[in-house]
């Protein structure tokens, strides 16, 4: 019975440890809502936000791709620093978060309306999320909106599209590893707390934590096997 309990504990420790590695969230730029049903020409609001997933986010840049949506207005969230503020005519942005944040943060809001019937997607391009422990994250999640030509619900076949998480591919010139352009450097200099160096802007800390956790699991399992073998020899 003791052997069974001991082995069970080893298994639980291993599963929990590996689970933390396998299911760790990614820092992400996303929109809310991700789906909606509206008629052509009817305005609705969309919020863009950052989910740090436990990391310290200090700035985010990118470009909004409205596709079949007509932009009416864009408003940067209060308290943020917009080195490049997005507008309907020029939807690129570079926004800093004073003192950085580890919490979900609204970045800006958009008022849009559909110009045609169908499933219309809102996407981002050239996304880069910057901060301590993030490295060079460019993960984002867009929206897919069902736009119809009729206001009668009975005549509408409602589809519920699923927004896909995409890895944005930047079309901008390649920048050497660890380098940032002048505008980004200004945002980072103003927002990243004192003591957070370049080494903190990589995933090395997370990788070492994962390696140490795996090593600990191996040691615990090895000790369990040694304990069981020793008991058998004594008998």
Q: Model-level pTM?
A: 0.59
As given in the structure block, the two tokens for residue 117 are 């019937």
Which pLDDT band, with edges at 50, 70 and 90, does 4 fall under?
A: very low
- Tokens 């370049």 sit on residue: 198
Give the tens place of pLDDT for each residue, 142-193.
999 999 997 555 555 555 555 455 554 444 555 454 555 666 666 666 665 5
As given in the structure block, the two tokens for residue 123 are 């996407």
| Highest mean predicted confidence (pLDDT) among 65-74, 152-161, 202-211 | 65-74
Separation of alpha carbons 75 and 106, rounded Å: 11
Cis-peptide into 33, omega within 30 deg: yes
- φ and ψ at residue 8, rounded to 5 degrees: -65, -40
Q: Which contacts of 157-162 are long-range, i.e. CB under 8 A and separated by 24 or more positions? A: 158/37, 159/119, 160/35, 161/35, 161/119
Which strands form 56-65's sheet, in the order they lie side by side?
Answer: 37-39, 143-148, 118-132, 56-65, 92-101, 81-84
Lowest mean pLDDT across 6-20, 139-153, 205-219: 6-20
Nearest CA to 37 out of 104, 120, 106 is that of: 120
Separation of alpha carbons 159 and 141, rounded Å: 19
Separation of alpha carbons 68 and 45, rounded Å: 15
Give the tens place of pLDDT for each residue, 26-44.
899 999 999 999 999 999 9
How large is the C-alpha radius of gyration of the chain?
24
Contact predicate 76/48, CB 8 Å: no
Q: What is the mean pLDDT of the chain?
A: 76
CB count, 10 Å around CB of 209?
12
CA-to-CA separations, 235 to 2, 48, 228, 229, in angstroms, rounded = 15, 66, 11, 10
Query: Where is 230: in which H helix or E strand?
Result: helix 204-234
């Amino acid at each position: 019975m003791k052997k069974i309990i001991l082995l069970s504990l080893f298994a639980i420790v291993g599963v929990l440890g590996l689970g933390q590695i396998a299911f760790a969230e990614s820092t992400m730029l996303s929109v809310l809502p991700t789906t909606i049903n509206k008629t052509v020409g009817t305005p609705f609001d969309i919020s863009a936000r950052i989910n740090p997933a436990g990391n310290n986010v200090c700035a985010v840049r990118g470009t909004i791709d409205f596709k079949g949506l007509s932009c009416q207005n864009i408003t940067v969230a209060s308290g943020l620093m917009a080195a490049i503020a997005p507008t309907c005519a020029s939807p690129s942005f570079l926004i800093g978060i004073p003192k950085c944040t580890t919490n979900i943060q609204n970045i800006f809001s958009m008022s849009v309306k559909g110009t045609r019937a169908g499933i219309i997607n809102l996407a981002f391009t050239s996304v880069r999320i910057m901060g301590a422990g993030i490295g060079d994250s460019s993960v984002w999640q867009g929206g897919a909106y069902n736009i119809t030509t009729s206001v009668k619900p009975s005549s509408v076949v409602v589809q519920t599209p699923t927004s896909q998480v995409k890895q944005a591919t930047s079309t901008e010139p390649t920048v050497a590893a660890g380098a940032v352009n002048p505008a980004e450097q200004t945002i980072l200099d103003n927002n990243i707390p004192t003591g957070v160096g370049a080494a903190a802007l990589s995933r090395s800390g997370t990788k070492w934590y994962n390696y140490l956790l795996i090593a600990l699991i191996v040691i615990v399992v090895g000790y369990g096997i040694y304990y069981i073998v020793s008991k058998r020899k004594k008998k």
